[in-house]
Amino acid sequence: MNLSRRGLLAATGAAGAAGAAGSLGAAGSAAAAGRPGRFRVRTGFDRLAADGYAALAGQKAGVVTNPTGVTSDVRHIVDVMHADDRVNLTAVFGPEHGFRGTAQAGGSQGRYDDPATGLPVYDTYLKSGQPLADIFTASGVDTVVFDIQDAGARFYTYIWTLYDCMAAAVLAGKRFVVLDRPNPVTGRAALGPVLDKAFATFVGREPIAQAHGMTVCELARLFNGEFLTRPVELETVRMSGWRRGDFFDTTGLPWVPPSPNMPTPDTALVYSGTCLFEGTNLSEGRGTTRPFELLGAEGVDRRWAETANAAGLAGVHFREAYFAPTFSKFQGKTIGGVQVHVHDREAYDPVRTGIALLITAKRSWSGFAWRADHWIDKLTGNTRVRTMIDAGAGTDEVVDAWRADLAAFRSVRREYLLYR
């Protein structure tokens, strides 16, 4: 490439538009679909422990983790490591929602000593740069270990906790080890708009696609190779038994909700598209048992489901639905909307579906509005999605607008993939 990979991503981010969202497709996953447990996956932690923690030998280690950091028999890795003389675990670092998972969205657990192990727990949420580096320094660790289950979407904040921790480890002079876990919605394709750096926030630091199609180890390699000003001393411990076409229910691994509103792998399947409703005045289903699958507002009726079904989107049906969120938007009020029912996950494109739902909601309900702070621009990573929908663009037109940037990201992404 004449333009460096780092320069190419910077250029595509600055362009503000992005490439084609093609369908997830069936390639590489037909054998896995519908056969839960057929492929027994060993996570990065499983392989680290089986190797006697050789990657941490002679090191004081601190772990960035949350409730998803579990073994196949659902013991937490912190409890397992603390009890094992072969590893010197001296600290824990908690992200959003906290290490043990007691905090809701936008919250953390603060600094405390873990009652189960006595280990000091440091709060990393919304900390970056030198303040986060100072936490690593104060903890006394030599190596920072990262083990958190991701959901596959750019705006799911744990991958930016990974990014921030890698950058802070450079400043603090620490090694960094990433333990891999599956992308629950497969790693087949990157989908959706690529972030414009002008819209960088904690729901998107760097120009990657809205649905990135990567594992956390692959993302760590990408971050180190393309985005960090100074690369960290990085070691990745990959999985065994995972293939790019595997959905989570084919892995044999237990699902632990990575955050309170990500209760099942089905939630992750739709999340990279329907989370865009956080940027509107409609409920994205928080406060229900089906967050991101139920969408609605006061005054919405059957016309939205009818309009959405008429769009003929691949792999998905929409049911007229009524629900009363117990918290968040419309708390305690019965509202109308749709429930997203994915009937063919091989064909389903979550980002395209999210765009179509925004368009059909606006066309079928006169009360539709964006959040006043234009949060939608932070989620999509640009202004184009919002302004095109406001101008009356259809789904194909909006999707086509990000085609070039997505193609460029896919090209760079390919360099860092670890699995077939």
For the ranges 8-22, 32-46, 296-310, the maximum mean pLDDT occurs at 296-310
Average pLDDT (332-353) is 98
pLDDT of res. 106: 58
In this prediction, what percent of the chain has a pLDDT beyond 90? 85
Q: How confident is the model at residue 10 (pLDDT cuts 50, 70, 90)?
A: very low
- CB contact at 8 A, 407 and 3: no
Q: 108: number of CA atoms within 13 Å, CB side?
A: 20
pLDDT of res. 102: 65
Q: How confident is the model at residue 107 (pLDDT cuts 50, 70, 90)?
A: low
Q: Give the number of other Cβ atoms within 10 Å of residue 84's Cβ.
A: 13
Average pLDDT (328-341) is 98
For the chain, counts of helices (H) and of strands (E): 13, 12
Listed in sequence order, the DSSP H helices in 260-383 are 265-274, 302-310, 350-364, 375-380
Token reading at 220: 């760590």
Cα separation, 277 vs 233, in Å, equals: 38
- 252 by DSSP, 3-state: which? coil
pLDDT of res. 37: 40
Domains of the chain: 5-255+411-416 (3.40.50.12170), 265-400 (3.90.1150.140)
Q: Is residue 9 pLDDT above 90, yes or no?
A: no
Average pLDDT (264-291) is 98
What's the mean per-residue pLDDT of the chain?
A: 91
Q: Is residue 3 pLDDT above 80, yes or no?
A: no
Average pLDDT (379-389) is 98
Q: In sequence order, what E strands does 75-215 have?
A: 88-94, 112-113, 120-123, 143-147, 175-179, 191-194, 209-211
- CB contact at 8 A, 146 and 220: yes
Q: Is residue 2 pLDDT above 50, yes or no?
A: no
Considering only 122-131, 134-143, 399-408, which range has the smallest mean pLDDT?
122-131
Average pLDDT (178-201) is 98
Q: Give the number of other Cβ atoms within 10 Å of residue 278's Cβ.
A: 21
- CB contact at 8 A, 49 and 72: no
- CB contact at 8 A, 194 and 402: yes
pLDDT of res. 105: 60
In this prediction, what percent of the chain has a pLDDT beyond 70? 88
pLDDT tens digit string along 219-230?
999 999 999 999
Q: How confident is the model at residue 40 (pLDDT cuts 50, 70, 90)?
A: confident
pLDDT of res. 99: 87
